[in-house]
Structure 1
Amino acid sequence: MSVSSLSVDDDDEYVQTRLNAPMPWIGVYVAAASVACTLAMAADVVYGFRCKKLWFPCKFFSLNATSLTLLAVALKLPVDLTTNMWAVTDRLAKVSSLAFMSTATANFMTSLGSMSDQDIIMSVTALFILVITVFVDVFIQIAEMSSFIHRHLIFPEEVLVAAFMLLLLFLLVSSAIMVLSTKRYLDGKYQEMHSVVLSQELREMREVTTQGLRALVKKYWVMAQTSNPQFVIAGSAICTACGVICALVFLIMAEAEIRMIRVHKSLVQTASVYGNSTTWILIIQSIGVIVGSVAPAFRWCMAVKFRCSSESRSVSFSREEFKIREYWTERLVQWKGSSSASTIRHRKFRKFVHDAKGLTLDLLMKVQIFILLSSKLILLVSTSLSGPFYLCFQRIKRLRMQRRINSLPRDADQSGGVADLRFYALRLDGEVKLPDNALRSISKEVDEVFEIGTRQRSNSLLQFLRRSHSFNGVIAFDSDQVPPLHYREPPNCWSLPVVTLTSIAIALPGIPKESIDGLLSSVRQGLCYAKLIEKCLYSSGDLANIRKAAEIWAEVDLHRKWQGVDLGKLSRESENSKKSLENLATEAVKTVLDFKRKTGSCLMMSNPLNWPDNIISANSMYRISQTVLSIYDQSDHHDDQQQADQHLFQVLSDMIADILSACLTNLSRVITIKCHRNTIEERERSVCEAAVLLGATEDILELLWRRELPISSDSEQAAYIDGWRSVMELENGIQLNSLSDRENDPPENSGDHVSISIMAG
C-alpha cells in the first residue's frame, strides 16, 4: 500500500474521530430533553392527584410546538440510521425511545380538548409527520439488517413497540377528528342548560343570598366540569384503548429489559459513539414510560368504572352504545361536501380531484368507524373482565358506607344533593351517565374551592367596611362647587377616587403610623375587588385611561408617593391639614396646566377620555383635595389642631369605606357573570374564580345586603360610580350638574383663573 493511501486513511480516521467526539454530549442533550418531558408528565400526574381529578387533565404536557420539539430531540436514537448500535444498552435505548414516544402520544390524548380547531389540525399534523418519520426509519434499519436479525434478540420488542406507537397515533388522529365535532355538541348542550338555569334563577331567586349564589356556582361548576372536552375525552372509548395499549407498551419494555438482564447479566454494555450517555437515556426514558403510564391507566380505570353501574349487580353495556353517532364522523362529512376543487379550471381534472377526495374521505370514515367500534369493543372486554372485581369492591364499600350513614342523623345524608346535581351533568348522546360517586366527587371539588376562598377572607377589610353606615361618601368626595380646570371633566371609576382619598389621608399631619398602615391594608384588599369589578363589568375600552390613572396606587402603597410627591415628607413638613391639602391641590393644578399649555386646543385635550393617566390622576387630586379642603374649613375642631387632623382622617376613611361598600355591592353580579363563559376552554377556570371569589367575600356580601341600597345591584348603573351619584342625587333632591352639562360650562380660561388663585393661596 502506498504512503499516500495510508495518509488518506489516517485523515479519514482522524476526521471520523473528530466528528464522533461530541456525540456523548449529544446523548446528554437527548437525555435532558427526555427529562423535560418526564417532568412535564409527572407534573400532570401530581396535579391530577392533588386536585383529585383522576382523569388527569393535560396542564403541563400538552400537544404543542414545545413538547413536539422536545420529543423530536428525545427520539434521536431511533432515527439514527448510520451509528452502529448493537450492544445491549444501545438496543434497549432504542426500544425505550419508541416506548417513550408511545407513552407521550397516549398522554397527549386529552389535551386535544383544550385546543382550538386550527391548533388541533396543525399540531396533529406535526405529530403525524414525526411519528411516521420515526416508524419508517425504524423499519428501514430492520429491513437492512434482516440478514443477521437472529443475532439480536431485541428486535421482536422493537417491532411491537413501533407498531403500537403507530396504532396510538391513529387513535389520537381519530380522537382529534371526533373532538372537532364534539366540542360543538357539548357547547350546544351547555347553552341549553344555561338558558334553563337562567330561567330558574329569574323565577326562584327573588332575593339574592349567599346560599343561592353557592347553589348557582355549584350548578355551573357541574356543567363546566362535565362539558369540559378533556373530561369527555378521558372517559371515551378511544382513551380506554390508549390506556390498554400504553400498559402493553410498558409491559413489552419491561419484558425486554428483564430478558436482556437474564441473557447478558447486565444492562450497561454500550458500544456506540454516544458512550455512557446511552445508559442515561435508557434510565430516564424508562422512568418516563413508568410515569407517563399512570395517567392513561387511570383514565382506563375511570372509563371502566363509569360503565360499572353501582346500582346494579352486573356490568351493564347496552347495544345503544355501539350505535354510530353523528359527531363521530361529522367533520369528515363536512370536508367531503366542501368544494375545495372549485378553483381548478379544467373540468376533468376538477372532477378527478373531487372524486378522489370523496373516495379518500369515505375510506377515512370507514376507518374512523372501525377504530371507534374497536375501542368500544376493547372497553367492553375490559369492563367484562374487571367489572366483577369492581362491583365486589363497590358492594363492600356500599355496606361500610351504609353502616356509617345509619350511625349519623338523617340530616347528614347528602344523596339528595347528588340527585339535584345530576340534572346539570352534561353528556354526549350515547355516553353513559355519570355515577353518583363521580358527581359526589365533583361536588366536593367545588366545596374545597369555596374553602380556599374562605381562607382568603380579609377581616381588616370587613371591619373597615363596617365604618360605612350610608353611601353618602359616593357623593361627598367630589363637590360640584369646585370650579373645573377644563370645560369638560373626565368621568370617574371606582378605584381612582379611593386611591386619591388614600393619598390625601397619608399626607395629613399628626396621624399615627398604625392608623395609616391599617387604612392601607384595608384599601389594598378593597382595590383588588374594585379592579376586578371594573374589569368584569366594563367593556374592554370603557374608561380605560381613567382606570389606568388609578394604577398610581402602586407608587402610593409601596413608596408613599403621589406623582413624585413624598406624602410622608409632606405630612411631616405641613403645619396642619389645610396646608397639606393646599400643597397637593397646587401640585395637581400645575400638572394639568402644564399639559394644557403643551397641547393647546388639540383633539386630545377636548376629550378627557384621551388624556394621559397622570393628567387624569392630577385632575382627580385637584377636585377631591379642594372638596376635602371645604370640609375642613367647615369643621368645628380648629381650636385643637390634632383633633382637627384626626377628625379629617376619620372623614376621609368614612368616604373611602362608603365608596368601597357601594362598589362591592356589584360582587354578586360579577360572580354570576364569571359562572358563565361562552368560550368552552375558559369555563372551568372562570367558574373556579367565581367560587373562590364567593368564598372570600361571603361575609362582605352579607354585610352589604343587610343595608338598604339606593340602587339595585342588577342595574347597569350600579357598575359605575357616576351612576350611583346621579341616582343618589335624584333621591336626595339635590340638583347638581351632570357630566354632560359640564360641557357647556365656562370656557377654558376660567380654569386658569381658578388655578392661579389656588396657587397664589
Structure 2
Amino acid sequence: MGTFEEEVQRKLDEPMPWIGLYIAAASAVCTLAMTADVINGFRQKKLWFPSKYFTLSATSLTLLAVAMKLPTDLNTNMLYQADWYTKLSGLIFMSTAMGNFAPSLGSMNDKEILSNIIALGILVITIVVNVWIQLIQLHHLLPPVIILGVAVPIILVLLLLATLASLAITVPSTKRSMESKYQDMHKLVLREEEALKRTIDKQMMMKYWVMAESSSPQFVMARSIVCTTSSLICVLASITIVMSYITMTYANWFFHIRYASLGQPGSVYEKISQPRSVYGSFPVYLILVIQCIGVVVGTIAPTLRLFVAIWFRCSTTIPKNNKSSLKDELFKIETYWIQKLVDWRDSFKNSSLQIRQDDKYMKYFHNVKCLVLNFFIGVQILIVVVSKQLLYVSVLLTTPFANIMNKINIQFSSKVATSSDNHVVSDDTELSLSRYVLLLEGEPKLPKRILNNICRHADNMIFIGKRMQPQNLINLLHKFVNFSGVIQFDSTNQVPSLHFQEPPNCWMLPLMTLTSIAISLPNVAEHKRKQLVSSVNEGLFLAKLIDKILDANAKLVNIRKSADISWVGVALYRKWQDVDLRTTSRKCKNSKDVLKELSNKAEMTVIEFKREMKDFLMENPLNWPVKIIAANSMYRVSRTILLAYKGENEPTDEELFERLSVMIADILAACLTNLPRVIATMCHRNAIEKRERNVREAFILLGKTEQVIQLLHRHEWPSLDADKASYIDEWRSLIHQDNEIPATSISTSSPGKAVKTPVSNADHITVTVAQSPSLS
C-alpha cells in the first residue's frame, strides 16, 4: 500500500517543476513592468515615478497571485533551505509590488478602487493566513530566528495593505478638491485669454500644463504623506532580504550545533541545508533570483519617492521653537483624509429608507454601522498622524545633510550660470507660473526645481512634435491660395439629389472622396498618386482630430466613421468600396470615363439601398450605413466634376489631377484653421485622470503643426464664428452666399487665381510658438 501511495505522490510531483517555471515567468513579467516604470520615470525626470505599466489592476493581481504560489502552498516543507528562501522572497516581492501600486490609485474611479483594493486584500490575507498556519504547525521544529524572519515581512505586508486602503479612501475627496481648484484657475486663464483677443501661445499653454501636472491624481497620490509611509515600509521590507542571509547562516549554525550534540547531525541539518523541493532545484532558484531582482528594481521608485517627499518638506519644516505651529503641522487632520468615511457614516444616519420608529433592529443595525465607521475614521486619523510623525522625524534627521547639499548645489548652479549664456528667469516669470500650481490643503509648496522640470518637459514635448512635422502635408498646402475648393467639390444646385435630405459633410469625407477620384485618373504619374495619398493621409489625421474634438454634440459620428473606413481601403489597397481604382485607371481611356464609372457605381449603391430600405429611421441620412454615406458623397463629387466637361475647354488628365489637388489643399487649409482652437480645447477638456495626457498631446500637436499654422497665417481667414468654423457646411454657406462661386469654376479657374472671402483680421485665432524662458 505504501508503494502505491508513493507512486501516486511521485506522479503528482512530476509536473511541479513546470509549475515552478510558470511562477518564475509571472514573477519576471511583474519585474519587467516595475523596471519599465522606473525607466519611464527617469526618462521623464519624474522622480515620483508614475505607475504606467505596473498598476493595481486585475492583470497585475492575477500575476501576483501566480507569483505567490510558493508562499501560499501549505504542502512545501519549510525545513528545506530553498523553500524557506522562496517563501521569504515571495513575501518581500509582494511588499515591493504593493509599494509600487500607490500612485496608480489616482488613475482609477471609485468602483475600480473598491474592487481592486478588495481583491488585493483577499490576496494578502490569503498569503498571510497560509504562512501563519505553516509557522504555527512547524514552530516546534523551527528556531525563533526563522519564525521572526518570516513574521516581520508578514507584518510589513499588512501595514502596506493598511496604507493602500488609507490612500484609496482619500482618492475621491482629493480629486474633487483638485477639480474644484482647477476649474477656478481655468476661469482665470479664460479671462486672460479673452483679454489677449483669443491668442494662444506657449506661455498660455504652459499655465494649463502646470495646472494639469500638479493636479495629476497620480502625482497627488505620490506626494501624499501616507504614500511616503508606504514607501518607507517598502524600503524596510527590502532590507529584510539582506537580513535573511544572516538569519539563514545563524539557522544553519544553530541546527548543526543542536543536532550534532544529540548525535544526529544528519536528520534535520541536512534538510535545511540541502536545496531540495518538489518544484525542482532549478525552478526554485530561478524564482528566487527573479524575485530578488524584482525587489531590488522595485525598491528604486519607493526609495526615491521617500527622498523627494523629505526634500519637499525640508524647506517648509516648522521650527522646533514654534510649538503651536509644530502641533498644527503634526496633528492637524485635513478634511480630505476622512471626508469619504464621514460621508458614508452620515449617509447611514440620514438614510432615506422608510422605517418605523419602534423598529429597534434597524436602529441597532445603523448604530453598528456608525460604530464601525467611527472606528475606521479613528484608524485613518491614526495612520495620518503617524505618517506625519515619521516624515517629520525623517526630515529632522536629514536636514543637516540636505543643507550641505543645497549649499553645494547653489554654488555649482551659480558657476554654471556665469559660464553659460542661459537665460535666467525673473522672479515675476516664476511667480506667474507658480500661481497655477494646484496643491491640497496642508501640502508644502513645490520646489523650484520641480517647477523647472515641468516647464522643461513641455519644451521637450514641443521638440518631439517638431520632429514629427507632416512634410508631405506642408508641400500640398503650398498649392493653397484661397478657400474656393470648399464649395467647388459639390454643386448643390446642379447635381440632383438622390434623397429628399442630404447627409451633412464632415471635413474628412470630401477629402477622402476627392483623393479617391484623383488617384483613379488615368495618364497620371504613379509618384504623384503616392505623393497625394501620403499628403492626404497626414492631413486626415489632423482633420479627424478636429472633427472629433469640435463636434460637440457628436452629430457627425457616423459621417466620420464612413470617411475613416473608406479611407482604409483607399490608402492600403487603392480600393473604393468594391471598385479597384488601379483597374479603373487602366481600363478607362480618359478621366471623363473614370468619373462616369465611379458616379454610376455610387448612384446604383444609393438607389438600391433606398429600394430595400424598410426601417423608417433610415429616412434620416445620419442613420445611413457608412457605405451608403460614402457612396452618396462619391456620387455628388464625381457628378460635380463632370460638369467641367460641358464646356469647350475640357481639362486634360494631368490638369484635372492638379486642380483636384488644389481643391484638396483648399479644404485642408480651411479645416486646419481650427487647429488653434483644437489645441486650446485639448488643454482643458475631459476628466482629471486624462487631463495630463491631453495637455501633453496638445503640446506635441503644437510643435507638430507649427509650420502648418504659420503657412496658413499668410492668408486671410473668413470671419466665421468659432463654433461655425468647426463645420465645413458652415464654411460653404458663408463663402457661397457672399461670393456666389459656381461649382463649375473648377474647369475655368486656375489654381493661382484667388477668390475673395470675407475676412476679419481681428477675430481669427493666432498661435505663437516663441520659446518662453524656462525656470532656472
Do residues 280 (structure 1) and 274 (structure 2) align? no
* Paired position in structure 1 for 2:58: 65
Deviations 1:524-574 (A, max 9, x none): 111111111111111464123322221211211222222222222322333
* Paired position in structure 2 for 1:216: 204
Report % sequence identity: 47
Residue type of the partner of 2:486? V
- Shift of the 358–263 alpha-carbon distance from structure 1 to 2, 3 Å rule, reads closer
* Paired position in structure 1 for 2:191: 199
Do residues 361 (structure 1) and 354 (structure 2) align? no
* Paired position in structure 2 for 1:257: 245
* Paired position in structure 2 for 1:725: 732
- Shift of the 311–335 alpha-carbon distance from structure 1 to 2, 3 Å rule, reads closer
Q: Alpha-carbon deviation of 1:88?
A: 1.8
Residue type of the partner of 2:533? L
Distance in 2, matches of 1:39 and 1:235, equals: 24
Deviations 1:259-302 (A, max 9, x none): 43577599983233222132222222111111111111011011
Matches within 5 A, 1:451-530: 451-479=463-491, 480-530=493-543
Deviations 1:638-696 (A, max 9, x none): 5xxxx722222221111111101001111111111111124111111111111111111
Helix, strand or coil at the partner of 2:443: coil
CA-atom RMSD, angstroms?
2.6
* Paired position in structure 2 for 1:3: none
Residue type of the partner of 2:26? A
Residue type of the partner of 1:694? L
Q: Alpha-carbon deviation of 1:366?
A: 1.5
- Shift of the 94–469 alpha-carbon distance from structure 1 to 2, 3 Å rule, reads same
Q: Alpha-carbon deviation of 1:311?
A: 12
Matches within 5 A, 1:536-685: 536-539=549-552, 541-550=554-563, 551-599=565-613, 603=616, 606-634=619-647, 636=649, 638=650, 644-685=652-693
- Shift of the 401–631 alpha-carbon distance from structure 1 to 2, 3 Å rule, reads same
Q: Alpha-carbon deviation of 1:503?
A: 1.5
Deviations 1:389-415 (A, max 9, x none): 222112111112112223445844466
* Paired position in structure 2 for 1:306: 312
Do residues 533 (structure 1) and 533 (structure 2) align? no
Distance in 1, matches of 2:710 and 2:499, equals: 41
Do residues 231 (structure 1) and 219 (structure 2) align? yes
Contact 2:348 2:369 in 1 (8 A): no
Distance in 1, matches of 2:461 and 2:631, equals: 41
Distance in 2, matches of 1:631 and 1:238, equals: 73
Residue type of the partner of 2:637? I
Distance in 2, matches of 1:344 and 1:459, equals: 71
Q: Alpha-carbon deviation of 1:733?
A: 5.1
* Paired position in structure 1 for 2:398: 386
Distance in 2, matches of 1:733 and 1:30, equals: 73
Contact 1:635 1:644 in 2 (8 A): no
* Paired position in structure 1 for 2:755: none
- Shift of the 311–446 alpha-carbon distance from structure 1 to 2, 3 Å rule, reads farther
Helix, strand or coil at the partner of 1:110: helix
Deviations 1:179-223 (A, max 9, x none): 2311111111111111111111112x2153xxx332232111111
- Shift of the 381–98 alpha-carbon distance from structure 1 to 2, 3 Å rule, reads same
Distance in 1, matches of 2:36 and 2:421, equals: 41
* Paired position in structure 1 for 2:388: 376
Helix, strand or coil at the partner of 1:491: coil
TM-score between both structures, scaled by the size of structure 2: 0.88
Contact 1:315 1:388 in 2 (8 A): no
Helix, strand or coil at the partner of 2:141: helix
Distance in 1, matches of 2:79 and 2:150, equals: 13
Residue type of the partner of 2:27? S
* Paired position in structure 2 for 1:327: 336
Deviations 1:454-482 (A, max 9, x none): 11101221121121111011111111211
Distance in 2, matches of 1:604 and 1:355, equals: 55
Distance in 1, matches of 2:463 and 2:301, equals: 27
Unaligned runs of 5+ in 1: 1-7, 737-761
Residue type of the partner of 2:410? R
Deviations 1:575-608 (A, max 9, x none): 2222222222222222222223323x75255322
Deviations 1:435-457 (A, max 9, x none): 10000001111111111111110
Contact 1:113 1:229 in 2 (8 A): yes
Q: Alpha-carbon deviation of 1:57?
A: 0.8
Q: Alpha-carbon deviation of 1:310?
A: 9.4
Match of 1:38 among 31, 34, 43: 31
The number of residues matched between the two structures is: 717
TM-score between both structures, scaled by the size of structure 1: 0.89
Contact 1:321 1:431 in 2 (8 A): no
Distance in 1, matches of 2:427 and 2:489, equals: 53
Deviations 1:69-109 (A, max 9, x none): 22222222222223322122221211111111111111111
* Paired position in structure 1 for 2:441: 429
Distance in 1, matches of 2:556 and 2:371, equals: 57
Distance in 2, matches of 1:581 and 1:326, equals: 70
Distance in 2, matches of 1:561 and 1:669, equals: 34
Do residues 14 (structure 1) and 27 (structure 2) align? no
Do residues 396 (structure 1) and 408 (structure 2) align? yes
* Paired position in structure 2 for 1:184: 176
Residue type of the partner of 2:701? L
- Shift of the 545–368 alpha-carbon distance from structure 1 to 2, 3 Å rule, reads closer
Residues 682-691 or 417-426, more deviating: 417-426
Match of 2:276 among 224, 246, 271: 271
Deviations 1:6-48 (A, max 9, x none): xx33333332233333333222222222122112111111111
Distance in 2, matches of 1:607 and 1:241, equals: 60
Contact 2:483 2:670 in 1 (8 A): yes
Unaligned runs of 5+ in 2: 254-269, 744-776
Residues 503-512 or 266-275, more deviating: 266-275
